[in-house]
Amino acid sequence: PGDSLRNLMIVRLPFDPPNDPLVKANVEYEKEKLRAKLPSLDEKAISGMAFRYFQVPRAVLNFRQGFGRLIRNEDDRGIVTIFDPRVVTKSYGDQFLTALPSEIPIVRNWEALEKLAADLDLAPSEKTTTPALRTAAMGL
């Protein structure tokens, strides 16, 4: 809690690695259940449903936990930046954003982010921002 963490950057949505043996086993288990319930579906549809019903919810949970690292109590403030375009380009992306508390503002452009940071008194200062971070931020 407090001012030590003000910005959380999520580079990739937190999906479990598909080659992890436990993930593979769970996905196969979900597929078997779907095959039994819906025998007329082809393998591509079954795989898509297993992804949607097993892997996406787990990733959404991990995503919410990431926010919990930033906001620990009602006095904490910060900005979460998501760099993974899948949150807006894939059909499952909305599940990540709607899993957040409704009072969290979601901004989609740099100008709105700068205004939000200023409103929350989170705007970076020359004292607290390293030259490398200033250069990286200008490149975004």
pLDDT tens digits, one per residue of 80-134: 888 899 998 999 999 998 888 777 777 777 787 778 777 777 665 554 545 544 4
Residue with tokens 């375009």: 85
Start-to-end CA distance of the chain, whole Å, equals 28
Q: Give this prediction's pTM.
A: 0.72
Residues contacting residue 57 through CB under 8 Å, at least 6 positions apart? 95
Q: What is the DSSP letter of 108?
A: -
